[in-house]
Amino acid sequence: MTACIFVSPAEESAGAARADRLHPVDPAAPQIPVTDLGVTRGDGIFEVIGVRSGHPLMLEAHLHRLANSAVMLDLPTLDLEAIRAAVLQVIESDGLLVESSVKVVVTRGVEGTGVPICWVLSSPAEDFRKDRTEGVRVVLLDRGYPHDIAARAPWLLTGAKTLSYAVNKAVLREAARRDADDVIFTSSDGYLLEGPSSNLIAKFGSRIWTPAPAQGILRGTTQAAVFEVFSELGFSTAEVLMMVDQVVDADALWLASSTRLLAPVRAVDGHEIAVDHELSDAVNESLLSGTR
Amino acid sequence: MTACIFVSPAEESAGAARADRLHPVDPAAPQIPVTDLGVTRGDGIFEVIGVRSGHPLMLEAHLHRLANSAVMLDLPTLDLEAIRAAVLQVIESDGLLVESSVKVVVTRGVEGTGVPICWVLSSPAEDFRKDRTEGVRVVLLDRGYPHDIAARAPWLLTGAKTLSYAVNKAVLREAARRDADDVIFTSSDGYLLEGPSSNLIAKFGSRIWTPAPAQGILRGTTQAAVFEVFSELGFSTAEVLMMVDQVVDADALWLASSTRLLAPVRAVDGHEIAVDHELSDAVNESLLSGTR
């Protein structure tokens, strides 16, 4: 129920037909050397793409963001055509699962070679229906950076989707210790940012807001699709600065991510907040229709 | 000239003799599955141990720090005896290189298993003699966090040596763009912190200072050994808070790390500073004597 394809870099296989550059492997067998910079330094990038009945959701937006992360990490230019072909091929070899996901990983490769390693892996999606209908409990955790960090210190790679996600996992363990399911990061100067693998979306009357990516936030592929749906439903949408204390004034809050899609927030730091089930269901149904 | 040994976790091999839990493998062959959390999330820890003529330098301090990083990342308790045995065995199988290094890596393992993966890899050391004698040019780069971050936000894992080192590599590329060799991180509130893989040491007359680890700095194994040497040479040593502008008042600055050892800083942000060759040589010779 899973498939994995390695993608040769273009410069290593000049002249080879694209299909000859895709190498299906056994995902259960060891594939990565211990000297790969992805595993020794978290030095690489990734994307996770939701798949619905064989259709990859927001595929172009994910490929675009992958290319952008590559630039931020000074990785060689990616061959997005070959990666796209690999994504479609793993989905096909995986059969028509109702919901699955595809992960694309690019590491800087074995130290000293300068040749990135890229693979594409499909797996069945977790069952997120409960998260989408009942919602998730979140805690606010300081990310330590001021909200203008991206412009001040681009070397911190905020806004790139890197393999260095140990902190993104650590905050989920901290959330569990506080009896919560997920996290909303805040800036050291009091702004709401994003989740460790999701974007925050807030409803204030007829307005739908998300924290502006310039705050060192990963630009959301699902958030962008969610904004399209909200626009079609007659809401106005905007990327804004939101202070922490505005969280209590919102009519509804959601976390948007590629496989879980739109998960309503039902508690922040232990305080219950209202869930707009009707609106959540409408947006998720539109996302799952696979037209994006 | 390199060797690699995988170490089975104790709970997976209860009753097995220690030697049966060490599994030598070919370091050039693929060893890590694509679903290992080390490679997909930088979710793990590591140490790099300098080796001089078959003797691992400051081995106990490295094992102690590895265990501390494991606690900070909520990893299962490590079997340090088995890891120590693996370190000694890779050094032995590697022959008596004059200078080499051993890397110990522990990942959280394949997602869902809860079983960490641990390996120990030896490799010939780079030739750092020029860095030790001529010195390195550094730039100051903002790490984005205030100096009291570790107490305020332990979930950010400052002070743990994690595999999520993409930023530590990105700042070296930024240094190269600024015609420098290395970096000293500063806090967002103006304190001197550490290098991306080294500790800062400063000399003011008869006093030797290093920034206090409570500022979210990785406690330095080599820095501790360097302090021992300086004490023996009659200097007083202390862990302190140092403001950025104190950098110009120091008689000498060094970066201390496990394989490069004590590298004098010969320029900060393009401004030349004096190198104390005699003192640098004396300390490095003591470290290389392998008595620690």
Optimal mutation site among A6, A7, A40, interface B, most CBs of chain B within 10 A: A40
Q: What is the pLDDT of residue A126?
A: 87
Three-state secondary structure call for residue A183? strand
Read off the pLDDT band of A97 (50, 70, 90): low
Optimal mutation site among A48, A122, A167, A186, interface B, most CBs of chain B within 10 A: A167
| Of the partner residues B31, B155, B165, the one whose CB lies closest to the CB of residue A41 | B165
Provide, as residue numbers in chain B, all residues whose Cβ is less than 8 Å from the Cβ of A108: 169
Cα dist from A21 to A111, A114, A198, whole Å: 22, 18, 32
Q: What is the pLDDT of residue B35?
A: 95
**Fold of the A3-124 domain:** D-amino Acid Aminotransferase; Chain A, domain 1 (3.30.470)
Is B41 within 8 Å of A188 when comparing Cβ atoms? Answer: no
**pLDDT, tens digit, for every residue of A27-76?**
999 999 999 999 999 999 999 999 988 899 999 999 999 999 999 999 99
Q: What is the pLDDT of residue B27?
A: 93
CA-based nearest distance B38→chain A, Å: 5
Residue A138 has pLDDT above 70, yes or no: yes
Asked casually if ipTM beats, i.e. exceeds, 0.90, the reply is yes
Q: What is the pLDDT of residue B13?
A: 66
Is A30 within 8 Å of B32 when comparing Cβ atoms? Answer: yes
Is B144 within 8 Å of A157 when comparing Cβ atoms? Answer: no
Count CB pairs under 8 A between chains A and B: 175
**pLDDT, tens digit, for every residue of B205-233?**
999 999 999 999 999 999 999 999 999 99
d(CA B276, CA B262) in angstroms, rounded, equals 12
Provide, as residue numbers in chain A, all residues whose Cβ is less than 8 Å from the Cβ of B153: 141-144
Fold matches, A3-124 and A129-288: no
DSSP secondary structure string for all residues of B62-106: HHHHHHHHHHHTTPPPP-HHHHHHHHHHHHHHT---SEEEEEEEE
**Pairing of β A261-268 and β A136-142:** parallel
Residue of A nearest to B121 (CA): A34
Q: What percent of chain A has pLDDT over 70?
A: 97
Residue of B nearest to A142 (CA): B153
Q: How many residues can be counted in chain B? A: 292
Q: What is the mean pLDDT of residues B125-145?
A: 95
Could you tell me how far CA B260 lies from the centroid of its own chain? 10
CA-based nearest distance B229→chain A, Å: 31
Q: What is the pLDDT of residue A266?
A: 97
Q: What is the pLDDT of residue B97?
A: 66
d(CA B104, CA B10) in angstroms, rounded, equals 16
Residue B109 has pLDDT above 70, yes or no: yes
Q: What is the pLDDT of residue B17?
A: 76
Is A42 within 8 Å of B165 when comparing Cβ atoms? Answer: yes
Q: What is the mean pLDDT of residues B26-38?
A: 95
Read off the pLDDT band of B14 (50, 70, 90): low
Q: What is the mean pLDDT of residues A129-152?
A: 96
Q: What is the mean pLDDT of residues B75-92?
A: 95
CA-based nearest distance A225→chain B, Å: 25
What one-character DSSP code corresponds to residue A58?
A: T
Is A167 within 8 Å of B163 when comparing Cβ atoms? Answer: no
**pLDDT, tens digit, for every residue of B229-276?**
999 999 999 999 999 999 989 999 999 999 999 999 999 999 999 999
CA-based nearest distance A289→chain B, Å: 29
Residue B143 has pLDDT above 70, yes or no: yes
CA-based nearest distance B66→chain A, Å: 15
Q: What is the pLDDT of residue B95?
A: 73
Q: What is the pLDDT of residue B3?
A: 92
Optimal mutation site among A103, A162, A164, interface B, most CBs of chain B within 10 A: A164
Residue B103 has pLDDT above 70, yes or no: yes
CA-based nearest distance B232→chain A, Å: 36
Q: Is B289 left (phi over 0), alpha (psi -120 to 50) or beta?
A: alpha
Provide, as residue numbers in chain B, all residues whose Cβ is less than 8 Å from the Cβ of A39: 32, 36, 38-39, 105, 107, 163
Provide, as residue numbers in chain B, all residues whose Cβ is less than 8 Å from the Cβ of A38: 39
CA-based nearest distance A234→chain B, Å: 38
CA-based nearest distance A155→chain B, Å: 6
Provide, as residue numbers in chain B, all residues whose Cβ is less than 8 Å from the Cβ of A163: 39-42, 164, 166
Is B27 within 8 Å of A34 when comparing Cβ atoms? Answer: yes
Residue B90 near residue B27 (C-beta atoms within 8 A): no
Residue of B nearest to A162 (CA): B166
d(CA A250, CA A204) in angstroms, rounded, equals 5
- Extents of the domains making up chain A: 3-124, 129-288
Spatial CB neighbours of B245, under 8 Å, sequence gap ≥ 6 = none
Q: What is the pLDDT of residue A189?
A: 96
Average pLDDT over chain B, rounded to an integer: 94
CATH level 2 (architecture), domain A129-288: Alpha-Beta Barrel (3.20)
Q: What is the mean pLDDT of residues B194-198?
A: 97
Optimal mutation site among B142, B164, B171, interface A, most CBs of chain A within 10 A: B164
Is A153 within 8 Å of B164 when comparing Cβ atoms? Answer: no
Q: What is the pLDDT of residue A163?
A: 97
Q: Which of these, B225, B292, B218, lies nearest to B66 by C-alpha position?
A: B218
d(CA A259, CA A48) in angstroms, rounded, equals 8
Residue B147 near residue B193 (C-beta atoms within 8 A): yes
Q: What tokens does A102 get?
A: 């595809």
Q: What is the pLDDT of residue B291?
A: 72
Residue of A nearest to B47 (CA): A40
**pLDDT, tens digit, for every residue of A264-283?**
999 999 999 999 999 999 99
Amino acid A273 reads: I
**Gyration radius from chain B CA atoms:** 19
Is B40 within 8 Å of A103 when comparing Cβ atoms? Answer: yes
Is B39 within 8 Å of A163 when comparing Cβ atoms? Answer: yes
